[in-house]
Structure 1
């Protein structure tokens, strides 16, 4: 019989046994109970209840415990059991109080208050506010500027479980870097190199958030680069070669390496350019040429004599139509081809 009694006591201590003081009441801290302490488990067994006492379960400080517990007790019984009707969830409980409180109250008597610290299990991953996020930045933003700040929220309550580490999954864009803000548990995406719309117009990469328990979430980041009007027009070549027969007017018979054409250096804007002749060398032949302002096609308007001159350099300028300060120049080396004048 003694052996049986000892076993029962040990079993009660395992689930948590206690006594009730209906005269003075009590306040007992029952230590740490780790989640998830499952539904149906016994949280406390009360023994040696006087047949004259009547017990009820009541909230203390907040009512959240009443959603988790039921008191299995019959009036006049010497024992009572406090059982979970819902698995303990520290994340929910800590929204209402710093611990899990309840009172086993003697009807018409004192309160017997219990306090449990609920050990938080790292069971919630950090979560980004959205699965993908896109935005546009100017190619002129300075290096070092933060283009995006983002926080992944972790619903675990312990400070350690809330710590979030951020990284960019490969392939990592070389023009952007990442820094972490420990105070706000957030990360900042910063520009590490100057942007150039003509080289890269769009970036897409995956941002990873990971907690100390290796639970993760990802967010796709897409950055569109806005082209700014900050470049001059340009010719594809610094030197063109053209030819025309002597004593003829009109367009050149041959141009290499290709037709003369300029374009806006800002490819995303691509403003129209206009052409003009700036210099003809020798300059006495300035009036022998003209250029179409829109197309850039050069024409000989007064015939040339090879016996007088064999080559002429024509310097042409392309200017951005809406901003004459933005210009480019190239040289056209014109060769005058000989014609047998005697036969003519």
Structure 2
């Protein structure tokens, strides 16, 4: 009114209300932890952000979901809270390959507001399992005339690890030179096949000692016992051990004129021999011991 002006400084203070919840930049988190990791190991987690101030800002973290993990919170130089994932219990990928956790951040408002992030922990395999054969000893019976190339038995070992640590290969650990020429072991499938014909008379039992290795050099052992059963593939053989070239016509009855040895290489009933002599001759066949016969 009087033509004078005056400047007054006015300061407006905005009082914070709890209108923001803590939030994570990513709400789906991935962690990869080896099952060989020692309990007590720590892994940093991302921090939540809350633009509110004072008590309305971020105040605490909480972890839920699995007994294998716990939460530790470190306080930084500026008072900021830094969450860490702590391995509380040893992992076993064969027991659980994944663990689902929930990280919750809370402010101090009334009521409190929260933000969450899901953590998926993938357990990375360690070579902590050796292969295990399905049987400690495999037994198989095969006839000696089984065709060459036949699969006699297939051994199997299981390794519960994954990838290279669970890939099993088979090897002959201990085998005789004869058996190594007769049998072939496929290192990938575990199939034992026949390389050449069997001969019961050459050997009726073959023992093979095997090993199953995984990619990390852990192994298991097993034995394969192959019993060869006899087939009647041998004819009886007669050999003359001694004989008279001539005999007097007045030789008494019972005079031995020839001594024979009869042998059949087969076994059991296939090796039992019955001998006879042509009829209408003045001789008879007399059985002796140990496969010997006398012509009298």
- Give the TM-score of the pair, scaled to structure 2: 0.71
Q: How far has the Cα of 1:214 moved from its partner?
A: 1.7
Deviating beyond 6 angstroms after TM superposition, the runs of 4 or more aligned structure 1 residues are none
Which residue of structure 2 aligns with residue 210 of structure 1? Answer: 213
Question: Distance in 1 between the 2:29 and 2:22 partners?
Answer: 11
Give the SS at the match of 1:190: strand
Residue 287 of structure 1: aligned partner: 281
2:43 is paired with a residue whose SS is: strand
Cα shift at 1:56:
3.8
Secondary structure, aligned partner of 2:94: helix
Q: CA deviation at 1:204?
A: 1.0
State the Cα RMSD in Å. 3.2
* Cα displacement string for residues 156-205 of structure 1 (whole angstroms, at most 9, x for unaligned residues): 12x22222221112434121111144xxxx31001111111111011112
Alpha-carbon deviation of 1:207?
A: 0.7
Structure 2: give runs of 5+ residues left out of the alignment. 1-20, 51-56, 75-79, 107-112
SS of 1:92's partner is coil
Counterpart of 2:127?
A: 122
1:297 aligns with 2:294: yes
Residue of structure 2 in register with 1:175 after alignment? 182
| Structure 1 pair 164–225 and aligned structure 2 pair: CA distance change class (3 A) | same
Counterparts of 1:119 and 1:72 in 2: how far apart (Å)? 23
Structure 1 counterpart of 2:277: 277
Q: Is it true that 1:193 corresponds to 2:193 in the alignment? A: no
Q: Distance in 2 between matches of 1:52 and 1:71?
A: 16
Structure 1 residues 1-344: aligned runs within 5 Å? 21-22=22-23, 26-30=27-31, 32-45=32-45, 47=47, 55-59=61-65, 66-72=66-72, 78-94=81-97, 99-106=98-105, 109-157=114-162, 159-172=163-176, 173=179, 174-181=181-188, 186-235=189-238, 237=239, 240-242=242-244, 244-253=247-256, 255=258, 259-269=259-269, 271-278=271-278, 287-292=281-286, 296-299=293-296
Displacement of 1:125: 1.8
Q: TM-score, normalised by structure 1?
A: 0.62
Deviation at 1:72?
4.1
Aligned length: 252
Distance, in Å, in 1 between the alignment partners of 2:25 and 2:191 is 57
